[in-house]
Amino acid sequence: MTDALKRLSDEGVAIWLDDLSRQRITSGNLAELIDQQHVVGVTTNPSIFQKAISDGHGYDQQVADLAARKVTVEEAIRMITTADVRDAADILRPVFDATGGQDGRVSIEVDPRLAHHTTPTIAEAKQLAWLVDRPNTLIKIPATKAGLPAITEVIGLGISVNVTLIFSLERYREVMDAYLAGLEKAKAAGLDLSLIRSVASFFVSRVDSEIDKRLEKIGTNEAKGLKGKAALANARLAYEAYEEVFSSERWAALDKAGANKQRPLWASTGVKDPAYKDTLYVDELVAPGTVNTMPEATLEATGDHGQITGDTVRGGYAAARADLDAVAALGISYDEVVQLLEDEGVEKFEASWNDLLKSTEAELKRLAPSEG
């Protein structure tokens, strides 16, 4: 292990783990990652829970108890996932306390089938916050059009939020606006703004996957020379937008009232193209006040051979704009790509949720007690 993870942390990047399972909790592995690899938060999503519950027998006892009570499959999933999030939050509580509430956070997502429905998303966020009942939880709400007013409402109630599935710069600005509007509602209601936290999860690798595919199809040397540049350019320009919004007069009034900035979180940071360095989306997205949530393989790769050389974001805005302009000049529509990625992101999480429903239902049947 090098000191790359420590250097990353020292540069102001919070290292979060993009994974959770009961095995990781009960084996002491999560505590070990916190202690030895500078992990200060955890993110989950439907795909992560689907994999965790399908693998091994770590959930058998709880599932058997739920089966004995004849709960619905939806209720079973909520009992199982909130138990894991609660336990992970307890393990991370010392980090939460030491950082004044900034880190030591665990995220749990609203039912992805609600992504295009505002009112049920708000209701689900309230329910999850109540069920987990830990101050260091973040409720994940997707950055769909229907998600934006839900973010404002939930923040306005004093519930901390991880906004997920952000791909476009325009949508990111709308997310920041929704957060500030939520803080203004909370302030008007007399809530303590210092207790409300939020991150905005800006997805990285999927942007390259989609744009690279289109560049490859064009096939010219110019097109091939742009491969692997769009995702970093997009993320760097997101940070520029973050700096702009959180130095505005509107923000200054909330800052004075004790509010916290909504940190940019780099998500989808596992490299999907084996031609690229496996720490690309870590090494090249170093900026103060950000979060990088990593799958364990990326975390280990960064610890082993990551090259953390200081801020790799703030000096690159002009080059980032030039890269995206060059992609657009080849006839690749940015707006079309980011909308496609948002739609696919919602669909993938919904498919994982449906798989989770099926596998949990099968487990409930398998472990159901014989009548008597």
Q: What percent of the chain has pLDDT over 70?
A: 99
pLDDT at position 2: 62
Enter the tokens of residue 157.
Answer: 């109630």
Enter the tokens of residue 319.
Answer: 């080059």
118: amino acid identity, one letter: T
Q: What burial letters (b/e) apply to 72-111, b meaning 16+ CB within 10 Å?
A: ebeebbbbbbbbbbbbbbebbeebbeeeebbbbbbbbbbb
8 A C-beta contact, residue 165 and residue 143: yes
Spell out the residues 6+ positions from residue 148 whose beta carbon is closer than 8 angstroms to its own.
174, 175, 178
Instruction: Indicate the range of 177-181, 210-214, 366-370 predicted with least confidence.
Output: 366-370
Q: Could you tell me which of 367, 370, 371, 366 has the C-alpha nearest to residue 64? A: 367
**Residue 184 binned pLDDT confidence (cut-offs 50, 70, 90):** very high
What are residue 190's phi and psi, to 5 degrees? 80, 20
pLDDT at position 51: 86
| Mean pLDDT (whole number) for 230-257 | 98
Q: Could you tell me which of 199, 197, 176 has the C-alpha nearest to residue 258? A: 197
pLDDT at 89 over 70: yes
| Mean pLDDT (whole number) for 189-212 | 98
Residue spans of beta strands (DSSP E) within 9-155? 13-17, 39-42, 105-109, 137-142
pLDDT at 63 over 60: yes
Spell out the residues 6+ positions from residue 99 whose beta carbon is closer than 8 angstroms to its own.
40
pLDDT at 55 over 90: no
Question: Which entry of 126, 140, 187, 229 is annotated as an active-site residue?
Answer: 140
pLDDT at 1 over 60: no
| Mean pLDDT (whole number) for 107-113 | 96
- Give residue-wise pLDDT tens across range 239-252: 999 999 999 999 99
| Mean pLDDT (whole number) for 80-102 | 98
Task: Kindly report the number of other CB atoms within 10 A of residue 357's CB atom.
Answer: 17
Instruction: Indicate the range of 51-55, 99-103, 253-257, 291-295 predicted with least confidence.
Output: 51-55
User: To the nearest whole number, what is the mean pLDDT of the chain?
Assistant: 96
- Give residue-wise pLDDT tens across range 139-157: 999 999 999 999 999 999 9
**Residue 301 binned pLDDT confidence (cut-offs 50, 70, 90):** very high
Whether 358 is catalytic? no
The answer to whether the predicted template modeling score (pTM) of the entire model surpasses 0.75 is yes
**Residue 57 binned pLDDT confidence (cut-offs 50, 70, 90):** confident
- 163, containing H or E segment: strand 161-166
Characterise 44 by phi-psi region: left (phi > 0), alpha (psi -120 to 50), beta (else).
Answer: beta
Q: Which of residues 82 and 372 earns the better pLDDT score?
A: 82
pLDDT at position 317: 98
pLDDT at 122 over 60: yes
Q: How far is CA 343 from the centre of its chain?
A: 17
| Mean pLDDT (whole number) for 316-334 | 98
Q: Could you tell me which of 214, 213, 202, 224 has the C-alpha nearest to residue 313? A: 202
Q: What percent of the chain has pLDDT over 90?
A: 94
